[in-house]
Amino acid sequence: MEKYSAMYRGWDLMNLGLKVYPLAQNTKIPLKGTHGWKSATNDQMEFHNYFNDGQQTRPYLNIGVDLFHAGLMVLDVDVNHDDKGTSGQESFMNYIEKHNYSWPDNTYHERTPNGGLHWFYRLPQPLDKPTRKTAVLPGVDLLGDFVVIGPSEINGVPYLGNQQLTSLDQIAVAPDWLRDLLIYGNKPKRVNLNASFANSNANRSNQNDTYTSRVLTEIAMARIEEGNRNDWLYRRTLNLLTICHDPVAVYQLLNDINQLHANPPLGQKEIDGIFKSALNKKMERKGELA
């Protein structure tokens, strides 16, 4: 890194409307006396003083960008995230192909010192709070708070942009699905009750409709805390099997409810055990009535 190159880069980014903050030389560690991205500034003299305060010169500091207040996010794709050869690029491409998503790759991006990539996007709507999702997919993080940026170096290896960033128009707008992935993580945003209950009996009595409404309302308003998760989900699964005659739909609903409402969600083996027990119980009841 050339002397003061991070300072000059910081000034350029400020001219684009961004706030930047200093990091200790050759690291991601906030400079002593600062608070990381919370010390981000768009005051050029203030930023200059981090590099030269009249008593000490620091010409090789690293630099970070405040993403949150700029309305930006970063897709962080690693090449060997866990030192076991996990490819973030492969898991990300598999994810978008599975969901048939379009991915705008014609945006500003930087190669990281470990060989990964930081893809920058403008958010269609700002975030309510600084957010990041680590390991949202194997080898993939999503950053909505802050990020290290070139010409910063780690172990002497720099972050390298694909082009000189001279306008925020070089940063593509994030698709809604990518923003949702940052906010909600890799789990469903909501339970699609209408679709899942399409196979329910359309000729229920008014009394059964009332029962259905009670069950759905209880599920929609639930916050299932640790210590009560297994029993609550088991009882709700029995309820769902009563009002929906498609076990596959109920199983999908059970998984969605677990991800949305359980704190924290149960593991897949426990969910499978709950569903199997409830389905067996339901079959036993049918046999008793036959």
How many angstroms separate the CA atoms of 101 and 95, rounded? 8
If DSSP states are collapsed to H, E and C, what string results for the chain? CCCCHHHHHHHHHHHCCCCEEEECCCCCCECCCCCHHHHCECCHHHHHHHHECCCCECCCCEEEEECCCCCEEEEEECCCCCCCCCCHHHHHHHHHHHHCCCCCCCCCEEECCCCCEEEEEECCCCCCCCCEEEEEECCEEEECCEEEECCCEECCEECEECCCCCCHHHCEECCHHHHHHHHHCCCCCCCCHHHHCCCCCCCCCHHHHHHHHHHHHHHHCCCEECCCHHHHHHHHHHHHHHHCCCHHHHHHHHHHHHHHHEECCCCHHHHHHHHHHHHHHHHHHHHHHC
* pLDDT the model gives residue 7: 97
* pLDDT the model gives residue 188: 52
* pLDDT the model gives residue 191: 46
* pLDDT the model gives residue 82: 53
* pLDDT the model gives residue 84: 62
CA 132 distance to own-chain centroid: 6
Segment 6-53, tens digit of pLDDT: 999 999 999 999 999 999 999 999 999 999 999 999 999 999 999 998
Maximum CA pair distance of the chain? 90
* pLDDT the model gives residue 196: 47
What mean pLDDT is predicted for residues 123-151? 93
* pLDDT the model gives residue 203: 47
What mean pLDDT is predicted for residues 130-144? 93
* pLDDT the model gives residue 62: 97
pTM of the model: 0.66
Residues, the chain:
290
Angle, CA 147 vertex, CA 142 and CA 148 arms, to 5°: 135
* pLDDT the model gives residue 288: 54
What mean pLDDT is predicted for residues 71-79? 94
Q: Which of 50-59, 113-122, 188-197, 222-231 has the highest mean pLDDT?
A: 113-122
Average per-residue pLDDT for the chain:
86
Segment 97-119, tens digit of pLDDT: 988 898 999 999 999 999 999 99
* pLDDT the model gives residue 83: 58
Band (pLDDT 50/70/90 cuts) for residue 80 is low
* pLDDT the model gives residue 258: 86
CA quadruple 118, 120, 123, 129: dihedral sign: positive
Helices 268-289 and 247-261: crossing angle, nearest 10°? Answer: 140
What mean pLDDT is predicted for residues 209-232? 79
Is 50 exceeded by the pLDDT of residue 172? yes
How many angstroms separate the CA atoms of 158 and 162, rounded? 13
* pLDDT the model gives residue 290: 46
* pLDDT the model gives residue 85: 62
What mean pLDDT is predicted for residues 249-274? 88
Cβ atoms 139, 73 nearer than 8 A: no
How many angstroms separate the CA atoms of 279 and 274, rounded? 9
* pLDDT the model gives residue 287: 64
Segment 150-165, tens digit of pLDDT: 999 999 999 999 999 9
Please give the residue that has the higher pLDDT: either 75 or 189: 75
Band (pLDDT 50/70/90 cuts) for residue 193 is very low
